[in-house]
A = this chain, B = another copy of it.
Amino acid sequence: MAISKTLNELARHVGGEIVGDGDTIIHRVASIDEASAGEITFLNNPQYRRFLRECRASAVIVGREAPGEIQTGGRLNFLRCSDPYVAFAKISQLFSPAPRFNGKISPGSYVHDSAKVDEGATIFPYVWIGAGAQVGKNSVVFPGVFIGENAVIGSDCLLHANVVVREGCRLGDRVILHAGVVIGSDGFGYAGRGSDRVKIPQSGIVVIEDDVEIGANTTVDRATLGRTTIKQGVKIDNLVQIAHNVTVGEFSVIAAQVGIAGSTRIGKNVTLAGQVGVVNHIEIGEGAVIGPQSGVPQSVPPGAVLSGGVAAAPHNEWLKVMTLLPQLPKLWSSVRRLEKQLAQLLRTGEKEPDRDAGR
């Protein structure tokens, strides 16, 4: 907790320069409205500029194109850099070192004889690790985690309490699974109807690549055949559903409560905002951004920026609109009829002069 860095050290760490006293000692990060002496904060959103005046932080991280703030009197020290938010994140990491774990297998856990737990890995009590499973170097497995047979957990992973990784699924290195995540549950697949419905065995696996982070109680289903893939650097929030045979491309970001149906391919660097629903067997192109609550019924080209849904409005107004909405086809016809009638009327009107002329 008692970490101390000078501003100069921090500037070197993030590649920025100091305007003010580089020997100032910093112990912690804080938000701009709450920071006090010994703390560093940041200014990214211009909306927060108003807090600068009263700010009691020992330093403020600012962008390069913000010289105005820096001349407010010299009271504050500034760390100027190209991306203040990224710099804040890096400095915040410096002051929040990962907790240390004991690197031991608790005798209160179950590890099958044929499972392999690498050096430095910490296995808490009430963890169950099946036959043939592997846990890599320095990974931490919290209480209540289930690691199925032949599942593979890479190095430096963090599996929070009550995570489930079912048989055969594979995690890369530095993967973080938050509490209650389920990896490798059966995909939702049946053939036939009613009492003749037959379950399609879900024999595939889930592959999660390096540096993926998955939020609490999110579920990722195993493939029917083959694999469900979460590629390198993907970040997934809480309570998200990823169905069987889905692929999520590198560095994509998926917000809370999103649902992605079976076999859909999400490209690289895609952003899905909260509660988005994506149908099955489509493709979302690289870099696409889908706004909150949108339903995505068909493939989306790379780079597309889509929104969907109807925002909340005062109930009575919304009720009137929703009563009229189903009548849109009728309204459309009315307008078309009016256009025709008027066009005819105008044509008649145009002819009149001729008639007049003929008089």
What separation, in Å, do the CA atoms of A345 and B293 have in the docked complex?
Answer: 46
Contact (Cβ within 8 A) A274 B274: no
What separation, in Å, do the CA atoms of A29 and B224 have in the docked complex?
Answer: 10
Contact (Cβ within 8 A) B108 A269: no
The chain B residue with its CB closest to the CB of A321 is: B328
Contact (Cβ within 8 A) A310 B339: no
What separation, in Å, do the CA atoms of A259 and B295 have in the docked complex?
Answer: 16
What separation, in Å, do the CA atoms of A110 and B142 have in the docked complex?
Answer: 13
Contact (Cβ within 8 A) A238 B235: no
What separation, in Å, do the CA atoms of A294 and B315 have in the docked complex?
Answer: 11
The chain B residue with its CB closest to the CB of A223 is: B31
What separation, in Å, do the CA atoms of A125 and B128 have in the docked complex?
Answer: 8
What separation, in Å, do the CA atoms of A331 and B160 have in the docked complex?
Answer: 54
Q: Encode A161-194 as 1/0 by CB contact (under 8 A) with B.
A: 1101010000000001011101001101011111
Contact (Cβ within 8 A) A251 B194: yes
Q: Which residues of A, 239-266, contact B by the 8 Å Cβ criterion? A: 239, 241, 243, 250-251, 253, 255-257, 259, 261
Contact (Cβ within 8 A) B257 A241: yes
Q: Which residues of A, 201-247, contact B by the 8 Å Cβ criterion? A: 201, 203, 213, 215-217, 219, 221, 225-226, 233, 235, 237-239, 241, 243
Contact (Cβ within 8 A) B313 A293: no
What separation, in Å, do the CA atoms of A345 and B318 have in the docked complex?
Answer: 34
Given A128-B161, A179-B146, A180-B217, are A190 and B338 neighbors across the interface (CB < 8 Å)? no
Query: By the criterion of a CB under 8 Å from any partner CB, how many residues of chain A are at the interface?
Result: 124
What separation, in Å, do the CA atoms of A7 and B338 have in the docked complex?
Answer: 67
Interface 9-residue window, one of A71-79, A89-97, A133-141: A89-97
Q: Which residues of A, 131-163, contact B by the 8 Å Cβ criterion? A: 142-144, 146, 160-162
The chain B residue with its CB closest to the CB of A319 is: B307
What separation, in Å, do the CA atoms of A308 and B312 have in the docked complex?
Answer: 4
User: Is A66 interfacial (CB-CB < 8 Å)?
Assistant: no
User: Is A22 interfacial (CB-CB < 8 Å)?
Assistant: no
What separation, in Å, do the CA atoms of A30 and B203 have in the docked complex?
Answer: 10
Contact (Cβ within 8 A) A310 B310: yes
What separation, in Å, do the CA atoms of A193 and B271 have in the docked complex?
Answer: 11
Interface residues of A (CB under 8 A from B): 29-31, 34, 83, 85-86, 88-90, 92-93, 95-96, 108, 110, 124-126, 128, 142-144, 146, 160-162, 164, 166, 176, 178-180, 182, 185-186, 188, 190-201, 203, 213, 215-217, 219, 221, 225-226, 233, 235, 237-239, 241, 243, 250-251, 253, 255-257, 259, 261, 269, 274-277, 279, 290-297, 300, 304-315, 317-322, 324-329, 331-332, 334-335, 338-339, 341-342, 345-346, 348-349
Given contacts A85-B191, A307-B319, A311-B322, 6 further A-B contacts (CB under 8 A): A144-B146, A164-B180, A221-B238, A237-B241, A275-B277, A292-B297
